[in-house]
Amino acid sequence: SLAGAVARWRQEGHIAVWLHIPILQSRFAAAAASQGFTFHHAEQGSSTLTLWLGEEPSRLPGYATHQVGVAGAVLDESTGKVLVVQDRNKTRNAWKFPGGLSNPGEDIGDTAVREVFEETGIKSEFKSILSIRQQHKHPGAFGKSDMYIICRLQPSSFTISFCQQECLRCEWMDLDELARTKHATPITSHVAKLLLYGYQEGFDKIDITMREFPAVYTGLFYKLYHRELPESYRNIT
């Protein structure tokens, strides 16, 4: 029985138990709760419960509390125009950069490139991160925290074929106009000014670039985003 197993785990010195319950066996959650288990998280096909057996307060990590949204500021440097959209389902038809939620296991730059293509039909290449917004108790994230990242992208195609289910309008707009218009979301307006500064004075002044490094876990890698480091400092040993 579960009660007997919990007693045995305590005697053996275990301090925590993770219990994964498939959705078709959800009836077992009630039995687990009667033994002190609590929900940790749920996914499409299962839920995970935990039981802390230690004497001190639980040290088990909480489940993910953030969602990550990514947008792409696609700038055509030859014309000074930037790609913008208006969402179809928003009450205020304000200009913004195309974007959406990052998929599990998807890199930030890949999300920006994918979302831009899905919404506008424009192909592009990731160049840098421009800004990161952090917002807590986000209504669109079930009250959790939200990270919204805007990337600088370089276009490799220019003919717009936008998704009419998601977008009301889509166009190439003069960057200077986007920086000045009152018909853009506040974050779009601010990042447009930042992008205009980089366009006129040099992107090295605004870019947060990416480098990949091996993780401490064998076979895994991570991406580190930071301001560009001069070569003389990169080569310090």
Of 81, 152, 87, 151, give the one whose Cα is nearest residue 119.
Answer: 87
Kindly provide the b/e burial profile for residues 16-40, where b requires at least 16 CB atoms within 10 angstroms of the residue's own CB. Answer: ebebebeeeeeeebeebeebebeeb
pLDDT of residue 130: 97
Which residue spans of the chain are classified as CATH 3.40.630.30?
Answer: 2-52
pLDDT of residue 66: 87
pLDDT of residue 230: 84
**What integer best gives the mean pLDDT of the chain?**
93
Residue linked to tokens 């599990």: 104
Write out pLDDT tens, residues 39-86.
Answer: 999 989 999 999 999 988 998 988 878 899 999 999 999 999 999 999
> Mean per-residue pLDDT for 143-156?
94
pLDDT of residue 125: 98
Which SS3 state, helix, strand or coil, does residue 110 take? Answer: helix
The yes-or-no verdict on residue 106 having pLDDT over 80 is: yes
At residue 229 the predicted structure's pLDDT band, cuts being 50, 70 and 90, is: confident
CB 40 within 8 A of CB 8: no
The yes-or-no verdict on residue 96 having pLDDT over 90 is: yes
CATH number of 2-52: 3.40.630.30
Helix, strand, coil share (%) of the chain residues, nearest 5: 25, 35, 35
Provide the residue count of the chain: 237
Write out pLDDT tens, residues 153-209.
Answer: 999 999 999 999 899 999 999 999 999 999 999 999 999 999 999 999 999 999 999
The yes-or-no verdict on residue 91 having pLDDT over 70 is: no
Write out pLDDT tens, residues 189-204.
Answer: 999 999 999 999 999 9
pLDDT of residue 89: 76
Which residue spans of the chain are classified as CATH 3.90.79.10?
Answer: 66-203
CA 101 distance to own-chain centroid: 6
Beta bridge partners of 99: 71
A 10 A CB-CB count for 121 gives 14
* 66-203 has CATH 2.60.40.1220 classification: no
The yes-or-no verdict on residue 233 having pLDDT over 90 is: no
**Percent of the chain surpassing pLDDT 70:** 100
